[in-house]
Structure 1
Amino acid sequence: MSKPATAKLSADDRAIFGAIADFLVPKTAKMPAATEVGVAAGGIDDVLKFRPDLIEDFHRGLEKAKGLTGAKAAELLFETDKDAFGAVSLAASGAYYMSPKVRQIIGYPGQESLTYDNHETPDYLTNGMLERVARRGPTYKPTPR
């Protein structure tokens, strides 16, 4: 079976995904709901572009969810098709946390290129961060059998 392209998401597909995403990532006092940050608009396209391995399961999940509310669709997928549920829920959370608005709220600027001088003594060796670990001494817990 060939994998469907993300561009083939219809308005109905996006609405179904948005309903499921809003159930999985609802609005809270501090955070917006999934559809408020565009997960069903452009966010899902970005996720599926970066994770093409999810496309087949994602589309199967949307097909099974037709005509259901977000809550009922998520429950059905969770109970009957774990792979589809995993793809849809991962796509929802991925698109949510890729949103610039969400990243700003949680204080995550994205990946940054940091310089590193391998000749400089790291701060954690001089700022006392490791003192309590050294004072505690070695600990050992045997692996359970």
Structure 2
Amino acid sequence: MLTDEQRARFASLADVLIPAAEGMPSASQADVPTKWLDDALGYRPDLVAGLQEALQAAGDLPADEAVELLNQHHIPAFEALGTLAAGAYFLNPAVKQLIGYPGQVPTVARDDTDTYLDLLENVAERGQVYRDAPAEGQPT
């Protein structure tokens, strides 16, 4: 899918977007350019073209200048780059653990039958509030 050179370039751009800070790893420290990028692209194959455009438009510019160029002149490519960098970052279980996010977990189903029956009883006791709509062709 991506060459080693493209992954290296993605890593440098992603590290500008997600630098190491306050105990959190940078994008490349969180293995974003490898497995997690592949997983993110699997979920969002529609962003492949935008990523390719971002990598091409970034050229050989220093990463911070390339990100600024993308942000100002290649907005859809910048959005694809940012979405994939952030998405891949938060797919990493170590990152999820650092932010205290266990991922989606099942919740205990609640039995709201009693509440529903109470509401239904109130409606039945109140009776009809709205008048019937006239049948088609009858005056209003």
TM-score range relative to shorter protein: 0.7 to 0.9
Q: 1:60 aligns with which of 53, 57, 60?
A: 53
TM-score, normalising length: structure 2 = 0.77
Query: Does 2:109 correspond to 1:110?
Result: no
Query: Does 2:79 correspond to 1:86?
Result: yes
**1:134 corresponds to:** none
**1:95 corresponds to:** 88
**2:132 corresponds to:** none
**1:30 corresponds to:** 23
Aligned residues: 115
The Cα shift of 1:94 comes to: 0.7
Taking every aligned residue pair, what percent have the same amino acid on both sides? 37
Q: Flag the structure with larger Rg.
A: 2
**2:36 corresponds to:** 43
CA distance in 2, matches of 1:16, 1:74: 11
SS in 2 for 1:34: coil
Query: Does 2:18 correspond to 1:19?
Result: no
CA distance in 2, matches of 1:79, 1:108: 33
TM-score, normalising length: structure 1 = 0.74
Of 99-108 and 67-76, deviating more is 67-76
Q: Map Cα deviations across residues 50-93 of structure 1 (whole Å, 9 max, x no partner).
A: 01111111111111112122211101111111000000011111
AA aligned opposite 2:64? A
CA RMSD, 1 decimal:
1.6
CA distance in 2, matches of 1:13, 1:77: 16
AA aligned opposite 1:47? A
Query: Does 2:73 correspond to 1:73?
Result: no
The Cα shift of 1:120 comes to: 7.7
The Cα shift of 1:98 comes to: 1.0
CA distance in 1, matches of 2:76, 2:91: 22
CA distance in 1, matches of 2:82, 2:22: 22
